Homo-oligomer: A and B are copies of this chain.
Amino acid sequence: MAGPPRLTPQHPDPLPAGSTTGGRATIIDVAAAAGVSRQTVTRAMNGMSGISAATKERVLAAAERLDYRPSRFGRGLVTGGDHQLGLVVNDLRNPYTPQLASAVFRLAAEQGWNVMLADVDLASDADRMVQALGSQTDVVIGYLGSRRDRWRELLGTVPMVELDPYSEPPTAAVWIDPADAVEVLADHLVATGVRHPVVLDNSSPEHTSVRGILMMDALQRRGYLPELVHAEHGTAECGAEETTRILERRRRQDAILAFNDVMALGVLQACRRAGVDVPRDVRVVGVDGLPLGSLVSPTLSTLAVDLDEVAREALDLALGMLAGELPRQGDAVQRTVRHRLLLRESA
């Protein structure tokens, strides 16, 4: 798109114009080449009425010859353009992410919104991506994690809805809260006779995750002495590795609560390989409620979250802020979606 000043009008050679000379053909170039006015070009390009077939054909031919493509900016400036939503996610390869994205896309599309996606996990230049996202969209929704404040700056005036914030006080946010479900889960573990649970967190020894803290606390309040294991990545591989290590110890743990479903899938795999029966010897629970969990054996019990609901709340906040119906800050722009315990076979 960017480029030096455009060609002087006529350029009658058959080469794709604008390619080597730098700079794309504009409506003016096409008008000149076809010997018509600008609005006649507009009529031809946009299939509008009020143009003779012959003229239209001539204009289209000129456009094709010059490799003319209308500028979305020129057009957007006058038409107002479409609504654009920006979505910031962490890793499209974790099945949770497309599940969420899919919900956002579907709901956004229903309201005529387009969605631009930025996967900041894969990116070396995440800051640039977020800034670019902001400059192309009307509002941004997403997982901001620890970079929230910096990205808030980069986004400038673009309203932002944070998903599952690490900490208060975000501006607008949808909290995804496992607290209630964790209590129900802890009760379930007691009821099924679990003695030695371990919490497999995705975190570092310095910073246990909120999720991990809630689990540890709920277990301790019920008289357990739960073990806390920190896994560096929230992947199946990492979940499997840590599990293998856990199972090698003398003292037999009988429940593993993983940070997310993908890790829990790794846990199940490691148990299988070690000849440990799930749920008889060890109960396994994940978090997220991915459909994927019912494809493995045993099927995965999990703290499920309704991602349609998350998407709906986020979109509602975003559109509300845009319409000026909501403040940019405060309690009115905080929503909460809660996990619920989904028992399948593994626990």
Copies held by the complex: 2
Q: How far is A69 from B97 in the complex, measured between Cα atoms in Å? A: 29
Smallest CB-CB separation from A297: which chain B residue? B272
Q: Contacts A1-B83, A157-B69; is A265 near B295 (CB within 8 Å)?
A: yes
A:111-128 near B, CB below 8 Å: 112, 114-119, 122-123, 125, 128
A18 contacts chain B at the CB level, 8 A cutoff: yes
Stretch of A51-59, A99-107, A243-251, A309-317 that contacts chain B = A99-107
- Is A133 an interface residue, CB under 8 A from the partner? yes
A48 proximal to B (CB < 8 A): no
Contact residues in B for A191 (Cβ distance below 8 Å): none
How far, in Å, is A112 (CB) from chain B's closest CB?
8
Q: Contact between B136 and A1 (Cβ–Cβ < 8 Å)?
A: no
CB A299 to nearest CB in B, in angstroms, measures 9
> Beyond A92-B101, A105-B118, A117-B117: 18 further Cβ-contacts under 8 Å?
A3-B80, A18-B324, A19-B323, A45-B157, A73-B74, A75-B135, A84-B116, A93-B291, A102-B119, A105-B122, A106-B123, A109-B129, A114-B116, A114-B132, A114-B133, A114-B136, A269-B295, A292-B292
